[in-house]
Structure 1
């Protein structure tokens, strides 16, 4: 069951609902979005019905949701959501009316490399930057990222370019320091089912980019988002980045059908990562075009000034003619599906 508070509901109104629910042995999880507050209820439904919650001040509606993912479902939030990322004056929207182009180096290797990559991305039309300070790798001998030093580099590049930062957090113990430096916290494919980490980022007070697990079903992906929402954070963006199949021609198989399916089930924005789906640069532009055509709310791609020297995922990084082709696609194609450049909607 979900309690939807009115836009003018006060903290006292919210607490009154929570107190009534806990008084009958239930649990109440408060999640605050941009325009309203949602309270998810766990416990005996019959007891909740006896509380007459609809009569309480500040309560807009009480809904019984059949989907297992209550807070991120469109059953109680029919209109799709927009998530705003960045500091006031530099906030970038990710949502149904805009197309958001995010780009940058897969891994932060140095201040110069990161700034060069982000400047390339900005020149191509990107309005947000990506960059990994912590890198969960299959091999323990592979480059694991610069950690806090990498976060400091990202923050300095944001200062120089005015572009909000999204970066991955891989350990619940690092959530606070990552949130201190980044505008958006990324949960990677290997951590989609790390429930302690999901709960920690749900309490961090920053928007979250949640990548689909490489073997996750759509419902499992949405349930992971529910973990974040249940801890108070409705500012979640989902990212389809390819799933593991029997096909070896690409690193992963981009499940392009997941975009409209998820949009029909959840109000959360959905973007696509063609770089990690394909694993090769030649497929990034075609897959980006497909993402735009199918209605994705944005793309996130890898850019590197010297891919042959990259410490992580160099074969999929764009520059030169490939980056120019992508710039043309993200400039020309979104208007044909009713989207505007997210950069024009900053606030």
Structure 2
């Protein structure tokens, strides 16, 4: 046996093998096989009024999980970086008022402590998908983790990152396909839709799609949402905003409320045909 073969260690804890499908139970909703869970909210928490308006809108639609970035990893240091701790307070107040669960991103060990106190799901973003120190930290927590695929990661590398979390004891992991970098320029990234059936064969973890970051443009997001449901994803995480043209970050890929509501009605009809429960 070659040295390379000896050093090669199979993915163990998150591998499909004989493991039953992991279902993430959040009390008021679930993420996993048999469900199509909708997560929505603004790219970033900009102020108290917008996040409360969004929370009210989501509750009216029956959506149970709200997203919103408070610590924003931006390409430019001059871009809006989020409201930080104040944003967490706004998220928590709105979620409690409308009985919603919260998902938001932790960037490092310091922000992880703050996010862990507030969020119901901790997001590890694309840029941190191979930050193994941070992955180990969230692996020691008893809280669901949403792990986004790095924009240059192979599926195998994606699963190894999930393995880092599971290795530390936390098996409550949701994988998120959010598009990978290719030579294409018509979209922000290229949504790897084929990753969904591949991952469902390779792992027992739930896998959702972020069509917003994959597309980078709101006009094609409704079609990507429908494709997500049809291909067998366990849910979506979508950016919405009451006034996308005024958003402080990612306005071009944020759906307006009316358009999002129309799309949800359409996928509920598709879900009935596919015998999948919308959560």
- Alignment correspondent of 1:193: 130
- Alignment correspondent of 2:21: 80
- Alignment correspondent of 1:178: 115
| TM superposition shift of 1:320 | 4.3
Matches within 5 A, 1:30-109: 68-77=10-19, 79-85=20-26, 90-109=27-46
- Paired with 1:313 and 1:210, the residues of 2 have a C-alpha distance of 20
List alignment gaps of at least 5 residues for structure 2: 1-7
List alignment gaps of at least 5 residues for structure 1: 1-65, 343-347
Counterpart of 2:104 in 1: which secondary structure? Answer: strand
Q: Confirm or deny: 8 A CA contact 1:101 1:125 kept in the other structure.
A: no
Q: Confirm or deny: 8 A CA contact 1:295 1:337 kept in the other structure.
A: no
Q: Confirm or deny: 8 A CA contact 1:121 1:303 kept in the other structure.
A: no
| TM superposition shift of 1:233 | 0.3
The answer to whether residue 273 in structure 2 is matched with residue 330 in structure 1 is: no
Q: Confirm or deny: 8 A CA contact 1:67 1:73 kept in the other structure.
A: no
- Alignment correspondent of 2:163: 226
Comparing 220-229 and 312-321, the one that deviates more: 312-321
- Alignment correspondent of 1:265: 202
Counterpart of 2:12 in 1: which secondary structure? Answer: coil
Q: Confirm or deny: 8 A CA contact 2:241 2:257 kept in the other structure.
A: no
- Alignment correspondent of 2:82: 145
Counterpart of 2:17 in 1: which secondary structure? Answer: coil
The answer to whether residue 150 in structure 2 is matched with residue 213 in structure 1 is: yes
- Alignment correspondent of 1:255: 192
Q: Confirm or deny: 8 A CA contact 1:131 1:166 kept in the other structure.
A: yes
- Alignment correspondent of 2:4: none
- Paired with 1:185 and 1:148, the residues of 2 have a C-alpha distance of 15
Counterpart of 1:165 in 2: which secondary structure? Answer: strand
- Alignment correspondent of 1:34: none
| TM superposition shift of 1:67 | 6.9
Q: Confirm or deny: 8 A CA contact 1:285 1:325 kept in the other structure.
A: no
Q: TM-score, normalised by structure 1?
A: 0.76
| TM superposition shift of 1:120 | 2.5
Q: 1:127 to 1:332 in 2, by over 3 A?
A: farther
The answer to whether residue 231 in structure 2 is matched with residue 294 in structure 1 is: yes
Q: Confirm or deny: 8 A CA contact 2:55 2:95 kept in the other structure.
A: no
RMSD: 1.4
| TM superposition shift of 1:335 | 2.4
The structure whose Rg is larger is 1
| TM superposition shift of 1:125 | 4.1
- Alignment correspondent of 1:40: none
| TM superposition shift of 1:180 | 0.5
Q: Confirm or deny: 8 A CA contact 2:240 2:257 kept in the other structure.
A: no
Q: Confirm or deny: 8 A CA contact 1:252 1:276 kept in the other structure.
A: yes
- Alignment correspondent of 1:159: 96
- Paired with 1:117 and 1:80, the residues of 2 have a C-alpha distance of 32
1:314 to 241, 244, 251: 251
- Paired with 1:117 and 1:67, the residues of 2 have a C-alpha distance of 45
- Paired with 1:72 and 1:234, the residues of 2 have a C-alpha distance of 8
- Alignment correspondent of 1:283: 220
Q: TM-score, normalised by structure 2?
A: 0.94
Q: Confirm or deny: 8 A CA contact 1:125 1:327 kept in the other structure.
A: no
